[in-house]
Copies of this chain bind each other. A is one copy, B any other.
C-alpha cells in the first residue's frame, strides 16, 4: 500500500461528490460514516474536510460537524460575476499571448463542442465545454490565473451542469463560443473579454432559469 497522504485523494472524491450533487447542499457529512465508507480512520477524513472548509465548499461549525454549504442564489450570482471577470481576463491575455499550439487546442475543443451540440447531448457538451474554457485559461499564460480560474470553475461546475440543460442554452452557448474563438484568433482582447464576460455571467432571464433549476436541485428548497 502506498502511504502518501490519502487526504488529498479523499478531498478530491468528496469535492467531486459535492460538485456532482451527490452530496447536496445542507447535507451533513459524518466523519465516522465517511471513515467507514472509505475504510480509513477519521484522521485523513478530517484533514480532507478541513481543506474543503477552507476552500468554502463545506461549513464546519465547531462541535457541530461539517455541512455542505447552502449557496444562496445571490451568492451564486456573485460567484458567477467573479468567474466572468476571471474568464474575461483570461481571454484578454490569451488574445495577446496565445501560441499556435494554444490556437490549435482551442479550435479542437471548439469542434468537439460542435459535435456534442449537433448530437444534442448535454452531458457531452458539458464536459467538452469545460475543456473549451480550460483551453482559454491555459492560453492566458498566467499560471496563477489558470489555477484560480480552474478552482472556481470546479466549484461552480454543479450549477454549470444544470444550466446546460436549460432549453436552447446549448445552442446559445455554442454560438457564443464561435464569436469568442473568432475574437481570440483575431487577437482582439477587449472583444474576447467582453464576450466571455457576457457568456459566463448570470443575469436577466438566465437568472430566472438558474433559480428554477436550483429548486429542483434541492437548494433553497425544503432541505434543512
Contact = CB atoms under 8 A, between A and B. Distances in A.
Given A5-B62, A62-B4, A63-B4, A145 B82 contact: yes
Given A85-B85, A85-B89, A89-B82, A50 B7 contact: yes
B78 A145 contact: yes
A76 to B, nearest CB: 9
A142 B4 contact: no
Contacts of A160: none
Size range of the interface on A? 20 to 34
State the main secondary structure of chain A at its contact with B: helix
B46 A78 contact: no
B7 A78 contact: no
Interface of A: 3-5, 7, 11, 43, 46-47, 50-51, 53-56, 60, 62-63, 75, 78-79, 81-82, 85-86, 89, 142-145, 147-148
27 contacts: A3-B62, A3-B63, A4-B62, A4-B63, A5-B60, A7-B50, A11-B54, A46-B47, A51-B51, A51-B54, A54-B54, A56-B147, A75-B143, A78-B143, A78-B144, A78-B145, A81-B144, A81-B145, A82-B86, A82-B89, A82-B142, A82-B144, A82-B145, A82-B148, A85-B85, A85-B86, A85-B89
